[in-house]
Chains A and B, each alone.
Chain A
Amino acid sequence: MTAINLQRNQVRSARLREAINGYVFISPWVLGFLIFVIGPMIGLIWLSFQRWDLIGDPRAVGWRNYERLFSDRLFLKSMEVTIVYGLGRVPLGIFVALGTALLLNNRRIKFIGIWRTIYYMPVVLPPVAISLVWMWIYNPRYGILNTMIQQFLGIPGPRWLDDAALVLPSLMVMAVWAAAGRNMIIYLSGLQGISNELYEASAIDGAGYWRQFFRITLPLLTPVIFFNLITGMIDTFKLFTQAYVMTEGGPRNQSLFFTYYLFQKGFMQYQMGYASAMAVVVFIIIMALTLLVFRWSKAWVFYEGELTGDS
């Protein structure tokens, strides 16, 4: 009896020791989470009810910042710009990355490593340098792009970044150039993980290429596409460098991305309270969108684990 009790105590103290060890090991993250995430979040919410230019004392203004927000034409514009950009940029990115991965995933194609390296190269470059380079490419007068349009098509090229209708597509193309390599590698590794037996079986059933693509390849890649969708969405809300370096939000606020507007309000006009209210609202929007995409994903994302029952 006492022996069993003793054993039980030993087990219990071993469990306790394990738990304590676990907490000790994760404590840096817990601490960082409290200081750099939870603290600032509480601060953000508090600030959003204040009026503060960083110099004097903050003054409580109730819901006024929020009320102002919904009649702020520029804030609404920044939301529109960010969302329109995301709706174009994310699918375009998925299309290019997946297409390239499909081309590379072919046993008749040699030197996959070299292709992979080439396409990945832009991913590692500093956005500021990329922005400068593309500004020069898009330069309406001296840029290489318009020169080529003039030479090959015989018509003058458009004003790209200075054209309200073209500024977002121009930035999308640049962003896809800079980022497609990363997603291509993710898709490629996803493709290589699909077992041949599935293709063999469907080939026996007489399925052609497109049928296999839509019945096997695409469904098995949906988790990766989903991942791509979520990260693309978040990246869109973080977009800043291009607006700051290349367009300053213009022309006619057509590239006034959310983060750039936040920067203007917070760090150029020092409206800390108002900028905080903006951040709170956008945080809620992002959460809602993420939740929505997660919900929606249940309808189309296919996990192999669901079939085999692992994990």
Chain B
Amino acid sequence: MAINLAVAAPARKNQFLGKFMPHLSVAAIYAILLLGAVMVFFPFAWTISTSLKTEQQTLEYPPTWIPDPVQWENYPDALTARPFGRYYVNTTIITVLSVLGQVCSSAVVAYGFARFRFPGRGVLFLVVLSTLMIPFHILIIPRFILFKYLGWLDTFLPLIVPNFFGGAFSIFLLRQYFLTIPLDLDEAAKMDGASSFQIFLRIILPLARPALGAVAVFEFMSTWNDFFGPLIYLSSDRNYTISIGLAAFRNDYFTAWHLYMAAAAVALLAPLVVFFLAQKYFISGVALTGSGGSKG
């Protein structure tokens, strides 16, 4: 009986979970899920619909879903009304360097926490975790002054450089992942005369690819979408990121919702493309966060 149970367990996984929501038929669950999906898509549809209307049509009552005529020019019009091309280049530079810095430095630090015993390790790791609970916006004033004295204001440096010192969340995620890599592999490599750094490069990093991917996509999203940092540190138009440019664009006209929506639709596109390409890293990364968070 016991053996039976054990063997059958994986195949019957979730059998009892099937009892969840017993009052609801499958059809009802699908209906609710579908309604949720419609609610998710609704703002997208409204954005795209508006972005293809004439200005006049956006101010008509009642509004229609299908633009008539379809005003494709809104897209080039919106994207040239401000130097959005420049903004995209800026955002890309900031994001690529930030991701690079964040992933490399956090991996190194996480390796230190995961694989070496040293006095104060536990306390220091606790400090890493506790910095997760500081809303860093409250440090914006002294940081602004620091970067002002360094002469870094209105450059990308305040947005990029701090990423080269590891991020608390990335360090945490990577350390948890590194701990799941069997120590035997390190030992074997050590026997072969590999140094700590070689073990890190040749064994840990290749095996930790899913966690590194998760850290990279999270950092990509938070930098690409950041608004507060660029708003504080960047002041001249040629240095703007997409988010700052989009917010400024909103104030250029009184109401040009067809153009705002065209610019917004383009701004929504890049993160969505990255999401679809790197989906598995997002999903597994988020799941990792939750389980990590629940054990931390």
Contacts and interface: CB of A to CB of B under 8 A. Distances in A.
Interface of A: 15, 18-26, 28-33, 35-37, 39-41, 43-44, 47, 54, 100, 102-109, 115-122, 124-130, 132-134, 136-137, 139, 141-142, 144, 147, 150-151, 177, 181-182, 185-194, 196-197, 199-200, 203, 208-209, 212-213, 217, 223-224, 226-227, 230-231, 234-235, 237-238, 240-241, 244-245, 259, 262-263, 266-267, 272, 275-276, 279, 282-283, 286, 290, 303, 305, 311
A15 B19 CA distance: 54
Interface string B215-249: 00000010011011001100000000011101100
Contacts of A311: 295
B261 A47 contact: no
B64 to A, nearest CB: 10
A125 B272 contact: yes
Given A133-B46, A227-B294, A120 B282 contact: yes
Contact of A126 (B41, B162, B268): B268
- The size bracket of the interface on B is 35 or more
The B contact surface, by secondary structure, is: helix
B227 A240 contact: yes
A54 B46 CA distance: 44
Contact of B138 (A118, A120, A224, A279): A279
Interface in B247-266: 247, 250, 257, 260-261, 264
Nearest to B286: A185
A18 B109 contact: no
B271 A125 contact: yes
Contact of A106 (B18, B43, B47, B138): B18
B143 A199 contact: no
Contacts of A234: 133-135
Contacts of B271: 124-126
Given A136-B257, A199-B19, A127 B227 contact: yes
The A contact surface, by secondary structure, is: helix
B127 interface: yes
Nearest to B63: A147
A196 B59 contact: no
Nearest to A210: B22
A22 B264 contact: no
A188 B17 CA distance: 12
28 contacts: A24-B112, A26-B113, A28-B105, A35-B165, A47-B142, A100-B33, A100-B36, A102-B21, A106-B20, A117-B276, A118-B41, A124-B271, A126-B246, A128-B225, A128-B244, A129-B267, A137-B46, A142-B60, A185-B290, A194-B17, A197-B9, A209-B22, A224-B290, A240-B137, A241-B228, A262-B138, A279-B138, A286-B138
A196 B19 contact: no
Given A25-B108, A189-B291, A259-B137, A106 B21 contact: yes
Contact of A241 (B15, B32, B227): B227
Contacts of A28: 105, 108-109, 164-166
Interface string B103-144: 001001101110111110100100110010111111111111
A43 B60 CA distance: 54
Given A29-B128, A105-B14, A136 B260 contact: yes
Contact of A103 (B32, B39, B134): B32
Contacts of A241: 227-228
Contacts of B116: 18-19, 21-22, 25
Contacts of B80: none
Nearest to B293: A227
Contacts of A15: 117
B162 to A, nearest CB: 5
A46 B201 CA distance: 43
Q: Name which of A23, A25, A41, A267 has the most chain B CB atoms within 10 A of its CB.
A: A25
A191 B256 CA distance: 46
Contacts of B47: 133, 136
Interface in B267-284: 267-268, 271-272, 274-276, 279, 282-283
A216 B197 CA distance: 45
